[in-house]
């Protein structure tokens, strides 16, 4: 049960914000912040008021039921109303609890996705390529834009590593559950005896952060420039356009050489570095908060096996919610993706609610 005082404070806050916003004396920056807060509270204010009045309404109906002079028809109506009131109150309580769950400030941010081939040699690189194509299709369906930051291809036409930036509405809140080890079970094209092989790829989804979100001191960086290797044309291979950025306090290193311009490579490298540093700090805080809890969904642990794609059986299994769907081809086309994400989001909310109790 949510303390009455907590809900009363939300109602009071809503009333104060309403007065402040109509006063016309708030500067633009604070007006935007308060408008957002007021808009969020607007979604639950009616429910909050009903929750506060529940006990009073309940007592009123119970008095009717306990009154010996009340006729049976009125008691019957009061009994039905009381049962409906209790059912509605349970729904309202859940809605308010969901609202009170601490918000992840990164949920509305754009994201950087990193996919790397894991165990399984060339087959793992082909699977990494399949995963990237799947995310491209998901972005296309959701009208998100995806921009390649860096890519490293394997001999078989697969991907050793790919890093991309995804922009749109509420990207991170949707894709954050993708971080972890994705396992594939299928018969490789090179397998002559039809044996099923198991290989894997790792996915990391990081919230994309701006310079204002995370201040990095120039004195904490070591930037090395060098000549880019591999394909890319004469100008790439004959100038010091590649950049390696090392964040000295943490030892995190990012190398970028896809662009012909040293400036562009540095800009892309800093984008990746900011995202990784931001996620490093978030992970540290999350571990502090959850050290006494069981592992929660969406922790982003890259060593955690989260999903299996089984081609012989045409199924996808998400191990965190024990969900299996027999729509492998559709899933890889981005068709059944939301079904899994909705289950993961619901489970994550349930875990958060249990921690509020």
CB atoms within 10 A of CB 202: 22
CA-CA distance, 26 to 334, in Å (whole number)?
Answer: 45
- Angle at which helix 28-42 crosses helix 4-23, to 10 degrees, equals 140
Domain ranges of the chain: 4-100, 111-209+300-356, 218-288
Number of other CB atoms surrounding residue 13 within 10 Å: 14
Residue 194's pLDDT is 78
pLDDT band for position 189 (50/70/90)? confident
Pick from 252, 248, 250: nearest CA to 269: 252
Instruction: Check residue 218 and give its pLDDT.
Output: 87
Read off the pLDDT band of 210 (50, 70, 90): confident
Phi, psi values for residue 210, rounded to 5°: -90, 170
pLDDT for 328 equals 95
CA 347 distance to own-chain centroid: 13
Look at residues 10, 58, 55 and name the one whose alpha carbon lies nearest to residue 37.
10
Supply the pLDDT for residue 239: 64
pLDDT mean across residues, the chain: 86
What Å distances lie between residue 38 and 6, 12, 17, 34, 137, CA to CA? 17, 11, 6, 6, 36
DSSP characters for 283-311? HHHHHHHHTTSPPPTT---TTSEEEEEET
| Confidence tier at 290 by pLDDT (50, 70, 90) | low
Higher-confidence position of 44 and 283: 44
Would the pLDDT of 257 be above 90? no
- Provide the 3-class DSSP secondary structure of residue 259: coil
Give 230's pLDDT tier (boundaries 50, 70, 90): low
The predicted model scores a pTM of 0.72
DSSP letter at 103 equals P
Residue 289 has pLDDT above 60, yes or no: no
pLDDT band at residue 301, thresholds of 50, 70 and 90? Answer: low
pLDDT of 304 > 90? The answer is no
Tell whether the model's pLDDT for residue 325 goes beyond 70: yes
CA-nearest of 331, 306, 345 to 134 is 331
Tokens representing residue 155 in the block = 């001999």
DSSP, collapsed to helix, strand or coil, labels residue 40 as helix
Mean pLDDT of 44-64: 93
pLDDT for residue 102 = 75
Which range, of 13-22, 75-84, 170-179, 257-266, averages the lowest pLDDT? 257-266
- 185-210 average pLDDT score: 87
- Does 80 score more than 90 pLDDT? yes
Task: Using pLDDT thresholds of 50, 70 and 90, give the confidence band for residue 175.
Answer: very high
The residue-averaged pLDDT of 94-116 equals 87
**pLDDT confidence bin for 295, thresholds 50/70/90:** very low
**Which CATH number is associated with domain 111-209+300-356?**
3.30.70.1660
CATH class of 218-288: alpha beta
Q: What is the DSSP letter of 209?
A: -
185: pLDDT strictly greater than 50: yes
pLDDT of residue 235 exceeding 50: no
* Cα 157 from chain centroid (whole Å): 30
304: nearest Cα among 132, 182, 172:
182
Say what percent of the chain tops pLDDT 70.
90
């Amino acid at each position: 049960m949510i303390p009455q005082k907590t809900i009363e404070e939300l109602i009071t806050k809503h009333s104060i914000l309403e007065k402040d916003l109509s006063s016309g004396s708030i500067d633009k920056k604070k007006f935007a912040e308060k408008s957002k807060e007021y808009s969020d509270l607007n979604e639950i204010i009616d429910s909050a008021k009903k929750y506060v009045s529940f006990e009073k309404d309940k007592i009123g109906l119970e008095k009717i039921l306990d009154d010996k002079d009340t006729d049976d028809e009125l008691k019957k109506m009061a009994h039905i109303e009381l049962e409906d009131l209790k059912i509605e109150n349970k729904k309202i309580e859940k809605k308010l609890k969901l609202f009170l769950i601490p918000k992840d400030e990164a949920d509305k941010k754009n994201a950087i996705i990193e996919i790397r081939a894991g165990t399984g040699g060339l087959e793992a690189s082909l699977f990494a390529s399949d995963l990237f194509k799947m995310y491209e299709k998901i972005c296309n369906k959701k009208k998100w834009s995806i921009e390649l930051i860096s890519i490293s291809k394997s001999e078989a036409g697969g991907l050793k590593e790919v890093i991309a930036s995804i922009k749109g509405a509420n990207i991170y809140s949707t894709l954050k559950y993708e971080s972890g080890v994705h396992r594939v079970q299928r018969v490789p094209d090179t397998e002559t005896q039809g044996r099923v092989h198991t290989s894997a790829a790792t996915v990391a989804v990081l919230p994309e952060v701006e310079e204002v979100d995370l201040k990095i001191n120039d004195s904490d960086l070591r930037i090395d420039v060098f000549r880019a290797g591999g394909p890319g044309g004469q100008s790439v291979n004959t100038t010091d356009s590649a950049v390696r950025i090392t964040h000295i306090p943490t030892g995190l290193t990012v190398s970028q050489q896809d662009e012909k311009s040293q400036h562009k490579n540095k800009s892309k490298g800093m984008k990746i570095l900011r995202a990784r540093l931001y996620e490093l700090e978030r992970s540290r805080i999350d571990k502090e908060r959850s050290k006494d809890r069981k592992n929660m969904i969406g922790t982003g642990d890259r060593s955690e096996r989260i999903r299996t794609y089984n081609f012989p059986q045409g199924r996808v299994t998400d191990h965190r919610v024990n969900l299996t769907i027999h729509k492998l081809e559709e899933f890889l086309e981005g068709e059944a993706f939301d079904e899994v994400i909705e289950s993961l989001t619901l489970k994550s909310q349930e875990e958060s609610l249990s921690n509020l109790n």
